[in-house]
Amino acid sequence: MTNHSRRSARPHGGCAWATKAFQLLFAFTFVLVAGCGSGDADEGDYADADYADAGYADANYTDANYADGDGDDSEWGDAEYGDSQYAGSDYAPGRAPNGRSDGGFGNGGGEMRGTERVVLFDQALNMPRAAVQIPRGWRVYQDIATDPSTGTSARYQVDFVGPNDELIRNVRALNYFSMAGQSFDSAWQYSANQALQGTLERLEVGRLGPSEVLPRTRLVRELSQRVQVQALEAPVRGMRNGKQFAGVVHVVNMPTPQDPNSGTVMVEVLLAPAPSLEQLRQIHFQISQSREDNPQYQQAASQMSQQAMARDRAQSQQWMAQSQAAHQQRMASNQAQFDAHQQRMQSQSQSFDQMNQQWMSDFRSSGGSAWAGSGGDGYGSHEAFIDQIHGQQSFADPYSGQQMQMDGQYDYNYTNGLGDYYRTDDPNFDPNSLSGDWQAIDPMNPNQ
């Protein structure tokens, strides 16, 4: 048995609803579980991914099950990684706490005796995460890191590789949100893409349907007691080194109670030479059942998660308070503007009534001449009445020496003496902010 660690770049999923599910995942982070990362939305925008352009161009999603066939060679793409040693810990490889000895795996075609204990180690927290029993002769490649700010997985991929190129690969869980245009199909296909990338040539993934095996696993049994779980799988086939490979994609879907079109999806893949697939299924089941979680890691992850939730609640409450204050301020401003408008309308109405009464009085006293009420400047009650009808104001323009009619009726009016006007209802407006010599000017009044 060889235990390796590696780092690789993978997209982060958005983190939202699944707080309760995450607490469960801390205890069961092997076999379909990698936790939900806390990356930014642009890092986890998997719904827009084009699977055919993401290093997965040779894979097809079909609705068929498969017959054997031939194909070209491909490589697993193994790399050299440094061994990780955890001597002195109850979770050191090969050490079994409580006097537990190595066991055996049944393969359906005879006994495969002898196992080794391997530690799944969190590089970010520098502590063992769990331990599992694997068959002797198998290798483990792992890249595990928990985000200390959230208690969820920033990176998670664990590969169990058998002597005949069997592969069990676990990748991190992924959230999907209907409001962001993401779906369950896009989520599981994206995760399957990540898990299957670089494994086989002429790769094809069949129809996703109910799994008979997953509901019997420890993880799914425990999750099903607390949240809604869908245990699914899809057949896989492809070629490697001229040999037909077969496999299965395991998918666990946990839709949110509030929105069944959003949730968390967990994916793992099993690949083996076609005749060995059933044996690999049994090995996978035994490995998953042998998991021993590190209580110290679970406690640390739980504390980090609770702290993150407390921060989220505080930020949410602060945002709500700020939003409510801003809303109240907007409402107060709108009410003030409405009151000012009503006051202006009332003032204009009273002025209109007064001018109308003055015009009628002038008209009667002049013996019927509508122009008799005009003052020496040619602006009388009749002109004021016309201005009210048209919603305008008249000014004795100092530049032209003529009357100027301007649309609208404003409380504050300014001119630069060159025929230009600036008009506003803002009592705080400073005419000195304008370029030039601007002076206040009052509209014409028949009483002046």
Residue 168 three-state SS: strand
Per-residue pLDDT for 259 more than 50? Answer: yes
CB neighbours of 332 closer than 8 A, spacing ≥ 6? none
Which residue type occupies 97? P
User: How many percent of the chain have pLDDT more than 90?
Assistant: 41
Average pLDDT over residues 101-105: 35
Least confident of 16-25, 48-57, 215-224, 306-315: 48-57
Quote the tokens at residue 303: 């504390």
Least confident of 144-153, 198-207, 276-285, 288-297: 144-153
Per-residue pLDDT for 307 more than 90? Answer: no
For all residues of the chain together, what is the average pLDDT? 75
**pLDDT for residue 85:** 29
Q: Cα angle vertex 50, ends 47, 54, to 5°?
A: 115
CB neighbours of 315 closer than 8 A, spacing ≥ 6? none
Choice between 217 and 64, residue whose per-residue pLDDT is larger: 217
**pLDDT for residue 113:** 54
Per-residue pLDDT for 372 more than 70? Answer: no
Per-residue pLDDT for 45 more than 80? Answer: no
**pLDDT for residue 410:** 93
**pLDDT for residue 159:** 95
- Any idea which residue has 């607490």 for tokens? 23
Do the beta carbons of residue 249 and residue 192 sit within 8 Å? yes
**pLDDT for residue 55:** 30
**pLDDT for residue 94:** 32
Quote the tokens at residue 349: 């109405």
pTM equals: 0.53
Choice between 24 and 132, residue whose per-residue pLDDT is larger: 132
**pLDDT for residue 363:** 62
Average pLDDT over residues 371-381: 58
**pLDDT for residue 84:** 31
Average pLDDT over residues 242-264: 94
Per-residue pLDDT for 374 more than 70? Answer: no
Burial (CB count within 10 angstroms: exposed 0-12, middle 13-18, buried 19+), residue 331: exposed
Choice between 3 and 55, residue whose per-residue pLDDT is larger: 3
Choice between 219 and 70, residue whose per-residue pLDDT is larger: 219
Phi, psi of 271 (to 5 degrees): -135, 140
Choice between 183 and 341, residue whose per-residue pLDDT is larger: 183
Do the beta carbons of residue 6 and residue 142 sit within 8 Å? yes
Average pLDDT over residues 424-443: 93
Average pLDDT over residues 426-448: 90
DSSP 11: P
**pLDDT for residue 367:** 52
Average pLDDT over residues 397-422: 91
**pLDDT for residue 448:** 64
How far apart (Å, rounded) are the C-alpha atoms in residues 121 and 127?
A: 6
Which of 199, 264, 212 lies closest to 44, judged by CA? 264
